[in-house]
């Protein structure tokens, strides 16, 4: 038995009782993945409106907040599901502890969702004039305040940045998990949002101008490329604590999650990159939609792996 | 006043008396621990020896668990103890992810985070923590580290240069010290965990044994399905008489 122990110390654990296994599992992955879509579509919509005329993307005004609304509610639902005491979520608002990114994030995400809801009501009411009939007060108020949409849009885009990145700060506060470092994790969250946002919008871009669709493809291609580079940098060239490097070395050597990680990388980053590049020349919408699906699936897999592997670190 | 803890690993004989005293005093549920004693074997046969390391919350001066807790369930007491309020906890597990020492667990009966509090309730009454009282060799030394004349301060001064803390590189400033510990004892990477060769490593994890409402859906429905508070150890013992189902779950 001792022959196979670490030479330097000749030490082997003969009794230890691990307190926990995976603490944050796939529920948190869904949470982060859905949030990436929710904020990503906001970034992409703002970018497209800046670059193109609004009538080139007629359905974006109402579909963007609908997509964001659904994604953010999935994100909040899964946050709630992950709590062991879900009904006490209200404590975050009644007993907030402001040093915690969980608290700050929950407040910002709630505000963000409130703004998205307003945009959605205005956008949908404008797009469907007959909705709710003539007596519906809500749609009447929304239509009368249609201009409010454009006024609050910049604030929403600005708020989307911290809402996207605050999860990275939660992870940085999780000091037992060295793989989640604030500067790189923040950038990964941003790239994930651009990746997921562009992928989601590709599905509703059938009636848009070619130039707008090309921009979407370009953002997707850039986002998967830079995400891939960041993950590779972290995976192969990280200079973190010895514990984090030990767990990465274990994954490198074909340990748990290695297959899932590379499967996700190929599916979500490498293939969509080439498909995105090919769209620039061929403008084949089917391939672009395929790239978008792959990017969303691959992003989920990779996020799931990246969430779970640091939790394999021995803490004692 | 700042309370601190010191374990003299030269004295510790791995009897686990502290572990059991802690479980009894704090009614720590089955399959969870506030304090545990790790065994490691050192050397090459026949020159081998076994080392014991009691592990508990380090009550850090800069506690990551306190910082990440979104609702202040984890908070400092005036004496430096990092205490936990289970009525406030929302069960987000942020503290479990933040603690570099793996000292926090999710209580399967209350569905809230829990950990060593240095027996804050006993200290309030002027008593020592249960693990200190139970130790047969006085390896556990507890007291005010700001008082130069306290037993722990004198012990630290006497062993100057040999006092260690776990993971100092995390900058958490633990108030839990060790004397007689080496790299192999305190560094998680300095020893190997060989699957299949560890004593008692075939542990049956009875996750959330006492809580019949642990499933995600059940947790949401609990208030509407006539669930009256957490189930305690006693009710588990009653249910554990069904040995057949226990064995099916991998128990012994």
With CB atoms and an 8 Å threshold, state whether A316 touches B38: yes
Average of pLDDT values for A219-239? 92
Q: Which of A15, A98, A241 to mutate to test the interface with B (most CBs of B within 10 A)?
A: A15
A11 assigned to some structural domain? no
A residues 97-156 lying closer than 8 A (beta carbon) to B: 97, 99-103, 106
Q: Which of A91, A175, A242 sits opposite B189 (nearest CB)?
A: A242
Residue A147: how many CA atoms within 13 Å on its side-chain side?
A: 1
Query: Is the preceding peptide bond at B46 cis, omega within 30 degrees of 0?
Result: yes
What contacts B63, CB < 8 A, 6 or more positions away?
B74, B76, B82, B172
Which residues from B are below 8 Å from A77, CB to CB? Answer: none
Q: How far is B136 from chain A (nearest CA, A)?
A: 21
Least-confidence region, from A137-141, A230-234, B94-98, B198-202: B198-202
A8 assigned to some structural domain? no
pLDDT of residue B114 exceeding 80: yes
pLDDT of residue A192 exceeding 60: yes
Say how far apart CA B55 and CA A256 lie, in whole Å. Answer: 27
Which residues from A are below 8 Å from B106, CB to CB? Answer: 20, 84
Q: Which of B70, B112, B199 sits opposite A14 (nearest CB)?
A: B199
**Pairing assessment for the beta strands B74-76 and B113-114 based on DSSP bridges:** unpaired
Q: In chain B, whose CA is at the least distance from the CA of A92?
A: B71
Q: Which of A24, A97, A243 sits opposite B70 (nearest CB)?
A: A97
* Cross-strand pairs, B38: B53
pLDDT at B126: 95
% of chain A beyond a pLDDT of 70: 96
pLDDT at B245: 46
The number of distinct structural domains making up chain A is 1
% of chain B beyond a pLDDT of 70: 82
Query: Residues, chain B, total?
Result: 252
Largest CA distance in chain B: 62
Q: How far is B163 from chain A (nearest CA, A)?
A: 18
**Pairing assessment for the beta strands B3-8 and B176-179 based on DSSP bridges:** parallel
Q: In chain B, whose CA is at the least distance from the CA of A167?
A: B94
- For B95, the token pair is 């503290």
Which range of residues forms the domain containing residue A99? Answer: 25-312
Which residues from A are below 8 Å from B174, CB to CB? Answer: none
A191 assigned to some structural domain? yes
pLDDT of residue A243 exceeding 80: no
What does the H/E/C string look like for chain A? CHHHCCCCCCEEEEECCCCCCCCCCHHHHHHHHHHHHHHHHHHHHHHHHHHCCHHHCCCHHHHHHHHHHHHHHHHHHHHHHHCCCHHHHHHHHHCCCCCCHHHHHHHHHHHHHHHHHHHHHHHHHHHCCCCCCCCCHHHHHHHHCCCHHHHHHHHHHHHHHHHHHHHHHHHHHCCCCCCCCHHHHHHHHHHHHHHHHHHHHHCCCCCCCHHHHHHHHHHHHHHHHHHHHHHHHHHHHCCCCHHHHHHHHHHHCCCCCHHHHHHHHHHHHHHHHHHHHHHHHHCCHHHHHHHHHHHHHHHHHHHHHHHHHHHHCCCC
Q: What ipTM does the predicted assembly reach?
A: 0.91
Q: Which of A82, A85, A239, A248 to mutate to test the interface with B (most CBs of B within 10 A)?
A: A85
A5 assigned to some structural domain? no
Q: Which of A14, A16, A170 sits opposite B94 (nearest CB)?
A: A170
Asked whether the beta carbons of A5 and B192 are under 8 A apart, the reply is yes
With CB atoms and an 8 Å threshold, state whether A91 touches B193: no
pLDDT class of A135 with cuts at 50, 70, 90: confident
A19 assigned to some structural domain? no
Which residues from A are below 8 Å from B216, CB to CB? Answer: 81
Q: Which of A2, A102, A315 sits opposite B188 (nearest CB)?
A: A315
pLDDT in tens, A260-306: 999 999 999 999 999 999 999 999 999 999 999 999 999 999 999 99
DSSP code of residue B67: H
Which residues from B are below 8 Å from A24, CB to CB? Answer: 93, 97
Sign of the Cα torsion A101, A106, A108, A112 reads positive
A14 assigned to some structural domain? no
Which residues from B are below 8 Å from A4, CB to CB? Answer: 192, 194
pLDDT in tens, B115-137: 999 999 999 999 999 999 999 99
Q: How far is B56 from chain A (nearest CA, A)?
A: 10
| Average pLDDT across chain B, whole number | 86
pLDDT class of B44 with cuts at 50, 70, 90: confident
* Cross-strand pairs, B164: B178
With CB atoms and an 8 Å threshold, state whether B220 touches A100: no
Q: How far is A27 from chain B (nearest CA, A)?
A: 11
pLDDT class of B112 with cuts at 50, 70, 90: very high
Asked whether the beta carbons of A10 and B42 are under 8 A apart, the reply is yes
Residue B62: how many CA atoms within 13 Å on its side-chain side?
A: 8
Q: How many A×B Cβ pairs under 8 Å?
A: 199
Q: Which of A1, A7, A9, A107 to mutate to test the interface with B (most CBs of B within 10 A)?
A: A9
Q: Which of B7, B52, B71, B104 to mutate to test the interface with A (most CBs of A within 10 A)?
A: B71
Query: Residues, chain A, total?
Result: 316
Asked whether the beta carbons of A238 and A282 are under 8 A apart, the reply is no
Average of pLDDT values for A154-165? 96
Q: In chain A, whose CA is at the least distance from the CA of B63?
A: A175
Q: Sheet containing B3-8: give its strands across.
A: B140-144, B3-8, B176-179, B163-164
Say how far apart CA A49 and CA A66 lie, in whole Å. Answer: 17
% of chain B beyond a pLDDT of 90: 62
Q: Which of B191, B201, B219 sits opposite A9 (nearest CB)?
A: B191
A residues 167-186 lying closer than 8 A (beta carbon) to B: 170, 173-177
pLDDT in tens, A32-61: 999 999 999 999 999 999 999 999 999 999
A258-294 burial, b if ≥16 CB within 10 A, otherwise e? eebbbebbebbbbbbbebbebbeeeeeeebbbebbeb
* Cross-strand pairs, A184: none
A236 assigned to some structural domain? yes
- Residue A84: give its domain's CATH number: 1.20.1630.10
Predicted TM-score of the model (pTM): 0.90
- For A183, the token pair is 């500067």
**Pairing assessment for the beta strands B36-44 and A11-15 based on DSSP bridges:** antiparallel
pLDDT of residue A185 exceeding 50: yes
Q: State the burial class of residue A133 (Cβ atoms within 10 Å of its Cβ: 0-12, 13-18, 19+).
A: exposed
pLDDT at A194: 98
User: By three-state DSSP, how is residue B186 classified?
Assistant: helix
Of residues A224, A237, A240, A49, the one with CA closest to residue A153: A49
Asked whether the beta carbons of B69 and B177 are under 8 A apart, the reply is no
A183 assigned to some structural domain? yes
Which residues from B are below 8 Å from A18, CB to CB? Answer: 102
């Amino acid at each position: 038995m001792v022959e196979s122990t670490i030479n330097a110390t000749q030490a082997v654990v003969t009794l230890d009782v691990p307190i926990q296994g995976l603490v944050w599992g796939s529920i948190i992955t869904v949470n982060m993945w859905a949030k990436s879509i929710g904020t990503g579509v906001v970034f992409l919509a703002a970018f497209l409106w800046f670059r193109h005329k609004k009538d080139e993307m007629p359905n974006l005004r109402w579909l963007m907040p609908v997509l964001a609304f659904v994604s953010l509610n999935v994100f909040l639902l899964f946050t709630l599901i992950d709590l062991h005491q879900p009904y006490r979520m209200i404590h975050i608002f009644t007993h907030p502890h402001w040093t915690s990114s969980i608290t700050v994030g929950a407040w910002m995400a709630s505000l963000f969702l409130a703004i998205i809801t307003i945009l959605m009501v205005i956008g949908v009411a404008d797009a469907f004039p007959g909705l709710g009939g003539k007596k519906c007060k809500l749609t009447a108020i929304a239509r009368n305040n249609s201009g409010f949409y454009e006024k609050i849009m910049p604030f929403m885009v600005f708020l989307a940045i911290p809402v996207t990145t605050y999860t990275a700060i939660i992870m940085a506060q999780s000091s037992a998990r060295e793989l989640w470092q604030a500067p790189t994790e923040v950038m990964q969250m941003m790239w994930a949002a651009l990746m997921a946002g562009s992928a989601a919008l590709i599905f509703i871009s059938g009636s848009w101008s070619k130039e707008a669709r090309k921009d979407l493809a370009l953002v997707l291609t850039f986002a998967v490329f830079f995400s891939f580079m960041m993950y590779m940098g972290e995976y192969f060239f990280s200079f973190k604590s010895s514990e984090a490097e030990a767990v990465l070395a274990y994954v490198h050597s074909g340990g748990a999650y290695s297959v899932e990680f590379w499967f996700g990388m190929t599916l979500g980053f490498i293939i969509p990159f080439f498909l995105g590049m090919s769209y620039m020349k061929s403008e084949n919408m089917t391939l672009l939609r395929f790239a978008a699906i792959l990017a969303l699936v691959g992003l989920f897999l990779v996020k799931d792996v990246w969430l779970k592997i640091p939790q394999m670190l021995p803490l004692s | 006043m700042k309370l601190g803890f010191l374990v003299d690993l030269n004295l510790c004989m791995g009897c686990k008396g502290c572990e059991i005293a802690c479980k009894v005093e704090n009614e720590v549920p089955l399959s969870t621990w506030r304090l545990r004693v790790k065994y490691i074997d050192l050397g090459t046969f026949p020159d081998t020896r076994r080392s014991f390391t009691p592990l508990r919350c380090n009550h850090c001066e800069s506690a990551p668990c306190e910082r990440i807790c979104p609702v202040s369930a984890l908070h400092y007491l005036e004496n430096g103890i990092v205490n936990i309020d289970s009525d406030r906890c929302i069960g987000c597990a942020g503290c479990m992810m933040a603690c570099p020492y793996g000292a926090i667990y999710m209580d399967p009966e209350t569905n809230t985070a829990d950990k060593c509090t240095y027996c804050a309730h006993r200290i309030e009454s002027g008593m020592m923590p249960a693990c200190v009282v139970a130790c047969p060799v006085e390896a556990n030394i507890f007291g005010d580290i700001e008082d130069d004349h306290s037993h722990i301060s004198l012990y630290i001064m006497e062993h100057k240069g040999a006092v260690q803390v776990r993971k100092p590189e995390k900058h958490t400033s633990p108030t839990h010290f060790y004397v007689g510990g080496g790299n192999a004892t305190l560094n998680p990477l300095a020893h190997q965990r060989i699957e299949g060769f560890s004593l008692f490593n075939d542990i049956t994890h009875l996750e959330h044994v006492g809580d019949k409402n642990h499933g995600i859906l059940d947790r949401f429905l609990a208030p509407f399905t006539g669930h009256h508070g957490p189930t305690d150890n006693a009710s588990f013992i009653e249910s554990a008489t069904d040995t057949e189902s226990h064995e099916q779950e991998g128990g012994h």
